[in-house]
Structure 1
Amino acid sequence: MQTNETAEIMRRFNQAFRDHEPAILKDLIAPDCVMESIQPAPNGTRYEGYDACLVFWEALAKDPVAHFDVEDTITMGDRAIIRWRFNFGDGESVRGVNLMHVRHGRIIEALGYSKIPGQSAPLPE
């Protein structure tokens, strides 16, 4: 797959959330898509198959209060990294990334990872 095709799929994927247009997602998800959300910490939730991924993403895209700010999208062949900030509630947000994989013009894998506010690992000495 060409990087340009992957970039266009990621553009449309991000647009669905930015514009609160869940219908955009219907043509972007592969039948065998696997998605891992960031909640609950530490390992998130795994969703398998078109219907499960679509239901999860549609709910996010429909939410009139919460929204994503895409900070950067990097594409490399059939893979992409989306760096984002998810805004929710009363000015609260969390930053994270999605590691995306596309095959035959559809998303087959979307793994979400986020920073956990207020927690940090000890630095090595």
Structure 2
Amino acid sequence: MAPRTPTETIERFNHAFVHHDPAALDGLIAEDCVMEAIQPAPDGARYEGREACLTFWLALAEDHSSQFEDEEIVVMGDRATISWRYRFGSGPADYVRGVNVMRVRDGQVVEALGYSKTGGEIPLAAE
């Protein structure tokens, strides 16, 4: 099997959250992965290593009480941005918009930095 391109890696990563498919994360996370979540304010939590990042992301992908919608995915070389909307309720204002700044190496995610447009706390299943 040929190694995944950065575009294939990012598309599969995003698919896990949009379609609540945690199995899509299998083999996508590098041992030295670093992830920064959007909460708690002001800097978010930092997760280091495959197991820590994967544990967070598996819980988020499995959470059927919320929904990610991608707005735009841009991949340039080993870098990518995923602009998203995260719905956490049924009300018209029960969502937040944000972006993940990603880095891929050898078909695996090595860095994911999350940023959002919010001033308060939002319910995230994994936190």
TM-score normalized with structure 2 length? 0.86
Instruction: Say what the alpha-carbon RMSD is for the aligned residues.
Output: 1.4
1:47 aligns with 2:70: no
Q: Distance in 1 between matches of 2:86 and 2:61?
A: 12
Q: Gaps spanning 5+ residues in structure 1: where?
A: 119-125
Partner of 1:108: 110
1:33 aligns with 2:47: no
Partner of 1:23: 23
The runs of 4+ residues in structure 1 deviating greater than 2 Å are: none
Partner of 1:123: none
- Which string of whole-angstrom CA distances, capped at 9 and with x for unpartnered residues, describes residues 89-114 of structure 1? 23300000000000111000000000
Q: Distance in 1 between matches of 2:89 and 2:48?
A: 28
Q: Distance in 1 between matches of 2:83 and 2:53?
A: 19
Amino acid of the residue matched to residue 105 of structure 1? G
Q: Distance in 2 between matches of 1:117 and 1:70?
A: 21
Query: Aligned-pair distance for 1:8?
Result: 0.9
Identity of matched residues, % = 58
Query: Aligned-pair distance for 1:42?
Result: 1.1
Query: Aligned-pair distance for 1:26?
Result: 2.0
Secondary structure at the counterpart of residue 7 of structure 1: helix
Query: Aligned-pair distance for 1:117?
Result: 4.7
Tell me how many residue pairs correspond in the alignment.
Answer: 115
As a proportion of its length, which structure holds more helix?
A: 1
Partner of 2:77: 77
Q: Gaps spanning 5+ residues in structure 2: where?
A: 121-127
Query: Aligned-pair distance for 1:30?
Result: 0.2
Q: Which has the larger radius of gyration?
A: 1
1:11 aligns with 2:47: no
TM-score normalized with structure 1 length? 0.88
